Homo-oligomer: A and B are copies of this chain.
């Protein structure tokens, strides 16, 4: 999926990851998130857009404020990919290790 690429790109930026981790503690509004971060509020707003497009967060209006929270669906998707890749890569790695040991120390 192109979704995976979006998720990886979204998680690659440190500031964006800071926003995301901060959101892991519970739902927050934009200004609330911006407070304590070394960037301006519009910057946070832009980061949230990227995270939303990647399916990592969801938002809903709450009066004049806009509350964001983590979307477990997006996070699960990327985790599933990592798990699948993990199995594949590890299998290939072990196969290579065994191939190296083939004539190294036979009983």
Contacts and interface: CB of A to CB of B under 8 A. Distances in A.
Interface string A56-92: 0000000000000110100110110011011011101
Given A5-B14, A82-B79, A82-B82, A24 B70 contact: no
Interface string A11-32: 1101001000101111100000
Interface residues of A, number: 31
A96 interface: yes
In the A-B complex, the 4 residue pairs with the smallest Cβ-Cβ separation, listed nearest first, are A12-B12, A24-B89, A8-B12, A70-B89
Interface of A: 5, 8-9, 11-12, 14, 17, 21, 23-27, 69-70, 72, 75-76, 78-79, 82-83, 85-86, 88-90, 92-93, 95-96
